[in-house]
Chains A and B, each alone.
Chain A
């Protein structure tokens, strides 16, 4: 039997992230590369270890191979532990049939046995697809202080964006008085960040009740939270004011990457007191050649740069040959930009090859119809042939022949 753990975390990492298209065709969204050397899941995992939460269950379902491989035994995050540590929790076979996780609440319900092994007082439920640095221990202290059944991390978002979020209304004490799910005319700008802290005895009760309710969709946001609220449980909003981004779409993923170069965005990953850990390939340092020109960019180990880089993020082992240009773009691990190719306002996925003279993406100012502009994406392992052209907003899902225009 495992030793008692005060607080453990359950990380929801089974999402497909269908709006990321080709980028999540073969990997779950939490395994999508971000910020030069990270993957999205590094953020909640690093937050856990930095917050003193050493037992983490990672709930996987969609395309888990790469994610499982990446997490491994958790050593990269110091989560390889004698007691606790990281556990991958996939759907499993039971005496009476086998169920996929039918919703976020059902995923936790199916793993009640895992949670009970550690006999926790509190359970944090986290989402595996947000970029943020947060001290969950402060949230836990807040939760205890308020004697809450459930505490939801809350971010004040700009009013014009509020309609995209699940919103909360609170009283002076921070207690949640009402919820509003993606309203057309928002009356609050206090958005839920998808980070929950529960008192385990309460959560357990509501998970079982939710499971027995045939009409429920077994989702935290839609079912469990409203049920708790309806029953008059003590629910509080924990204010957070740092950087937080949901990278659910191509544009937001692109933006979130470039935010690392934006001092105003306030996502400082150089802070050694709150490191974001990651599991990286073994690479030598990056080499910037005498012909290269690098401005306002992030570059990481194993990359070889001979071309021109401006306002871009280069992951590990990227090659940019002489005369190639990379601007306002994200180039993921192992990708190769050959001589004279031009990549702008684009995301080039892992191990893709942009052949010489090819063009990927367009500058919005040169785009005839701004409404049709968007970030171009080249899928993992694909080749864009010599002198081919990939227009703005195009998502390349198969190899592009030389000279072709799509």
Chain B
């Protein structure tokens, strides 16, 4: 399958509510992650690394930060004469916004219809995974599948409409269940990277417009499991589905483990992001940095341990930052002390203040907050 025969579609709002603090002012796709990234960088880089050259970005609200981040798509090489990046905010929706995947797709029916690609890949943005989409596309055509859905085995995410699969020895999905409310447990569950033929997607949307389908997972996938060739594609690399502030915290901290880091930042599949042109980070005299993941432009005079520092963070003399995620341009004052904190952008901790959460209950400090 030629990758430029595949249309990429990203749902940047899907599951925003599961980390409502972090998404109060932004989309799920533009939540900062891993020192210098936003969630959308991961699926978007997966797409462009395999050669996909047309990507539509579905978004419904709070998308200023997303648009600022993506710009013309240049860092992903998607600023092009032909194809490239397409922002798809709500359009021609009587009441302004839409709810759910099907409605979002209905809303961009024209965009999908006008695209010349034969296949589509639909991706959520609450997934941190660097994988070879080329192999996934190849698998889809090899299996002659109607729909291929990625899955992994593990604890079910605590999210609505997570598809749980029964899969036979040929990787064909034979059973799908979607519990009415998220429940705990373990098994094969969907990671929403979904490949299908574009004509099938158009047919599904048309049927939805006719009122047959309302939810993608229950009405499209679950009800058609016998009628369509639906295959599962097992993800065998690092893959984290964000379902809570806790999992956001844990997934960041996972990057301190070299094995996970190698998997997420696989050098043959680079993860692209907006370039900021910060200077290198400065480690001052008497500073200490241990087991930490630190972006450019930081100035460290105090102590940093088991933490993720985004671009331009300043840690003043005597300050201690442990087990924390500190976003862009935060300032930690002298002798301040942070433990298990998620600090959103441009925050300021005044000298000698101390804030401590727990690894099982990190404390979130909002954007632009001064303490």
- Spell out A's residues near B (CB within 8 Å): 35-37, 75-76, 261, 269-270, 275-278, 280, 282-290, 292-301, 309, 313-314
Closest 9 CB pairs of A and B: A36-B280, A285-B35, A300-B280, A290-B291, A269-B279, A284-B265, A282-B270, A285-B295, A298-B280
A-B contact pairs, 11 of them (CB 8 A): A270-B297, A284-B35, A284-B36, A285-B36, A288-B290, A296-B283, A296-B284, A298-B279, A299-B280, A299-B283, A301-B295
Q: Please report whether the interface of chain A is mostly helix, strand, loop or mixed according to DSSP.
A: loop
Given contacts A276-B277, A285-B36, contact A261 B291 (CB under 8 A): no
- Provide the bound-state CA to CA distance between A37 and B282, in Å: 13
- Are B280 and A37 closer than 8 Å at their CB atoms? yes
- Provide the bound-state CA to CA distance between A297 and B280, in Å: 9
Residue from A270, A288, A292 in contact with B299 in the complex, judged by beta carbons closer than 8 Å: A270
Given contacts A35-B280, A276-B277, A282-B272, contact A295 B285 (CB under 8 A): yes
Which residue of chain A lies nearest to B282 when distances are taken between CB atoms in the complex? Answer: A298
- Are A285 and B294 closer than 8 Å at their CB atoms? yes
- Are B271 and A282 closer than 8 Å at their CB atoms? yes
Most buried by B among A76, A301, A313: A301
Shortest CB distance A11–B (Å): 19
B97 at the interface (CB under 8 A from A): no
- Provide the bound-state CA to CA distance between A141 and B325, in Å: 47
Residues of B within 8 A of A298 (CB): 279-283
- With A290-B290, A292-B289, A309-B283 already in contact, 5 other A-B pairs whose C-beta atoms are closer than 8 Å: A37-B280, A76-B275, A285-B36, A288-B289, A295-B285
Residue from A261, A275, A285 in contact with B296 in the complex, judged by beta carbons closer than 8 Å: A285
- Are B293 and A287 closer than 8 Å at their CB atoms? yes
Residues of B within 8 A of A293 (CB): 288
Residue from A37, A76, A284, A288 in contact with B292 in the complex, judged by beta carbons closer than 8 Å: A288
- Provide the bound-state CA to CA distance between A288 and B280, in Å: 14
Shortest CB distance B247–A (Å): 20
Residues of B within 8 A of A285 (CB): 34-36, 293-296, 308-309
Residue from B34, B279, B285, B288 in contact with A284 in the complex, judged by beta carbons closer than 8 Å: B34
Residues of A within 8 A of B292 (CB): 287-288
Contact with A along B155-167 (1 / 0, CB 8 A): 0000000000000
B115 at the interface (CB under 8 A from A): no
- Provide the bound-state CA to CA distance between A270 and B278, in Å: 7
- Provide the bound-state CA to CA distance between A280 and B36, in Å: 14
Residues of B within 8 A of A76 (CB): 275
Residues of A within 8 A of B261 (CB): 284, 287
- Provide the bound-state CA to CA distance between A313 and B282, in Å: 9
- Are B279 and A270 closer than 8 Å at their CB atoms? yes
B287 at the interface (CB under 8 A from A): yes
Q: Scan residues 282-318 of chain B and give those whose CB is less than 8 A from a CB of chain A.
A: 282-297, 299, 308-309
Residue from B74, B275, B281 in contact with A300 in the complex, judged by beta carbons closer than 8 Å: B281
- Provide the bound-state CA to CA distance between A296 and B282, in Å: 7
- Are B279 and A75 closer than 8 Å at their CB atoms? no
- Provide the bound-state CA to CA distance between A277 and B281, in Å: 15
- Are B283 and A297 closer than 8 Å at their CB atoms? yes
- Are A36 and B279 closer than 8 Å at their CB atoms? yes
Residues of A within 8 A of B275 (CB): 76, 280
Which residue of chain B lies nearest to A312 when distances are taken between CB atoms in the complex? Answer: B283
Which residue of chain A lies nearest to B276 when distances are taken between CB atoms in the complex? Answer: A275
Which residue of chain A lies nearest to B75 when distances are taken between CB atoms in the complex? Answer: A282
Contact with A along B195-206 (1 / 0, CB 8 A): 000000000000
- Are A288 and B279 closer than 8 Å at their CB atoms? no
Which residue of chain B lies nearest to A297 when distances are taken between CB atoms in the complex? Answer: B283
- Provide the bound-state CA to CA distance between A35 and B279, in Å: 9
Most buried by B among A286, A293, A296, A309: A286
